[in-house]
Structure 1
């Protein structure tokens, strides 16, 4: 595999498991997939849990908010842990500790205990930041957007896979003779155990950087990335003061935050509004998340393509277009009253929202190269903040799910214009151009970037 002077890979070979680049690539998306699976494993079973625990719509809304609320804080801090301790150790610890509430939610016997477990499970949503951090340090500028989008997108498929697989696991326990009140509890053990296994694999088979682990490098990894510790603190303050970071924070809330919301309500939405059984509703809802197999990757790839053609501003322009289409698509989906049209518009919306996510993280690595973890963490937290805000709309008995989704679609449409506030200096553009030309020169000399004036 060809690399730059900093040993970052300039290409992605999906069928390779070579260390360190592609092994990290595959283990990161698989780990994120399992975290996502465990994070939303309970969502397709909510129709059963609602009856057993006698939950109201308001209480279900509170559990939706809880499942994403704590992730806001976790994502902000997890980026700093990556900068200090390395993504390898951070991911391994998160996977193993995060499995505890995933398995433990089966102990819930009331609304209050169920709410607390859903809150605790939300911490594993911080796995996204580690995934983006790890691929950002492994891949060069010409493919970093594609690498980030693909690992995140394939990981996000866990949200779709759980809609299909968890009802089947649940049905399997029922077939074995367990009551429904016990079957959903035992079903959650499956993703928990898988997370523990991946935690050990991640620790033993990845490295923090292409050169090795932080603990093995001759220089201080934090100093190498951000300067001395005091300067790292200054860098964090600079990140917090950069308005572009907060613009991306809101934008990611309007894309990934809405995907999280749909993951939480899709199955019960089809169950209640189209009178479908649990397995059928889960299967259709799963189609939304499974589009991540290529949609988010396509967003990152096209973000890279626009970056090669038009520079950093090209990445931002593409992001605007996808956000605008996402908002319009969601309003259309919320208005559908026939099942076939609802499925069709949901798939179109799914493509748009996931491509917008990929486009966002084709921009993120260029905002502050000295604090990739911090920027990724804050922007990633925006996704969960958006999900929290959207979750409040589903608490009110007087507001139906279609009306709530239409309102969210309108908000996303407005937020899309925030993309125009993300601007880069000429120095940023020149630095990106230089590193891009270096990466492309490692591939084919004729692929020189053409920037528009």
Structure 2
């Protein structure tokens, strides 16, 4: 059995070098994905944008990430993390440079929509790190990958305004944004040169069929199809936000066309799911050693819905919440609210370590329970609170949120090795679904009730987690020559 300890400074180990290669690739993908947020005031001035147009850009930036994470999950299982991550960084960097030098609102809107694809980079590293680390270390390793990489959004917020000032002039923001794209593209080439899909002597197991998860029985097939529905509902919600009924950035014809596209995409995806599961439909039994329970995937999906989904939503609203509640300046409120994101550096690895050390289900249960309590505390914050107490409460809640994310992805690589990319893609997409749903709720209720809604969701999901089964023993994968390989998961 492998040890749960992990020395991230031991660069003599190839797996540690691979871990650092991976988290930095994820870090750069998030820098590129969120590089426009700290530059919004300059972009608004350069293009003379209305507040509605700015809101539309923010929505477009995340819209494509939901389907992209599912698609990238399939690609990484089929072609391997090395080539997919390299291609994503190179092409994402090129789109970023094009955005930086675009000259119309229509162009920046389209390019910002396409930039959402780079947000799927997270999924690639989950499969890659899972290949390199044994079961008793994989939670901490995935936590380091996710936590340190996710810090890219905060790094962009801190560094890019200064970089824009360094370049100077009215186009300083363009050069600052473009520089992140150039760095990402160069690193994509470097990553392809230095990374490997698996340790020497290990097999990279690929799914026998591409286009969707292969499940074990008809009940799981129905469950899988049902779990696809919320992703399309979230995309429909984003379309509604851009429609005449809300922001008004789309006319009625365009809105109806987008709804129709979503219906077609849903039908296509379901047809692909049925195709790859033809054996199940035809009552051809799946060998017992290759079976897994889809409920494990579904529970991880909803757990990430409430952890990462609430993080994205709260990070979006917290600066304004602090500013209005405590009558602070925008700069001060932003600095205080940034503590929520800063916790990623330690909380995600901490959640992964707890999962490795004390058990997957137990750790996830405790962290989601703490998350629910944390949001109930935040719902009581008002102007009578001392500001430092409010910030402390926020950071404590943030620890449980992000440690919960680490605990979720400590389990993902242990479900079914050959389909880890797809499982990670679907789970990651649910995080974005959560953000869309929670931010939509916020548009109808007060901040206090917003926090209570998240807490209530966490309570329901805590119950769901109790039905998750602790990974035990080994899972089986079949080599190309027909021999069986056993992979330790506990």
The TM-score range, normalised by the shorter chain, is 0.7 to 0.9
TM value normalised by structure 1: 0.78
Alpha-carbon deviation of 1:23? 1.6
1:194-343 paired onto structure 2 within 5 Å: 194-211=183-200, 221=204, 224-226=205-207, 228-229=208-209, 234-235=214-215, 240=224, 242-265=294-317, 274-276=327-329, 283-307=335-359, 312-332=360-380, 339-343=387-391
User: Which one has more relative contact order, counting CA pairs under 8 Å at least 6 apart?
Assistant: 1
CA deviation map 1:269-325 (0-9, x unaligned): 6677755365x5554444332222111111111122221xxxx43244234324324
Using the alignment, how far apart are the partners of 1:382 and 1:200 within structure 2? 30
Using the alignment, how far apart are the partners of 1:257 and 1:315 within structure 2? 19
Q: Partner of 1:143: helix, strand, or coil?
A: helix
**Structure 1: which 5+ residue stretches go unaligned?**
441-453
Distance 1:352 1:313, change over 3 A: closer
CA deviation map 1:162-218 (0-9, x unaligned): 2211222223233xxx02xx2222210121122112111211111101136xxxx8x
Using the alignment, how far apart are the partners of 1:42 and 1:266 within structure 2? 19
Alpha-carbon deviation of 1:232? 8.2
Using the alignment, how far apart are the partners of 2:357 and 2:147 within structure 1? 18
Aligned residues of 1:63 and 1:115 also touching (Cα < 8 A): yes
Q: 2:453 aligns with which of 411, 435, 438?
A: 411
Using the alignment, how far apart are the partners of 2:469 and 2:38 within structure 1? 46
Q: 1:92 aligns with which of 86, 95, 98?
A: 86
Number of residue pairs aligned between Structure 1 and Structure 2: 406
Aligned residues of 1:164 and 1:283 also touching (Cα < 8 A): no
Q: 1:375 aligns with which of 404, 415, 423?
A: 423
Residue equivalent to 2:438: 390
Alpha-carbon deviation of 1:244? 3.8
1:66 aligns with 2:33: no
Distance 1:320 1:326, change over 3 A: same
Distance 1:300 1:431, change over 3 A: same
Aligned residues of 1:164 and 1:286 also touching (Cα < 8 A): no
Alpha-carbon deviation of 1:96? 0.6
CA deviation map 1:115-145 (0-9, x unaligned): 3222111111111111111111111111111
Using the alignment, how far apart are the partners of 1:197 and 1:100 within structure 2? 10
Distance 1:110 1:339, change over 3 A: farther
Aligned residues of 2:473 and 2:489 also touching (Cα < 8 A): no
**Structure 2: which 5+ residue stretches go unaligned?**
226-293, 476-486
Compute the RMSD of aligned alpha carbons: 3.5
Q: Partner of 1:13: helix, strand, or coil?
A: coil
Alpha-carbon deviation of 1:354? 1.1
Q: Partner of 1:327: helix, strand, or coil?
A: helix
Using the alignment, how far apart are the partners of 2:59 and 2:45 within structure 1? 20
Using the alignment, how far apart are the partners of 1:105 and 1:271 within structure 2? 31
Distance 1:106 1:169, change over 3 A: same
Using the alignment, how far apart are the partners of 2:441 and 2:425 within structure 1? 26
Distance 1:275 1:326, change over 3 A: closer
Residue equivalent to 2:21: 27
Q: 1:421 aligns with which of 464, 477, 480?
A: 464
Distance 1:349 1:252, change over 3 A: same
TM value normalised by structure 2: 0.72
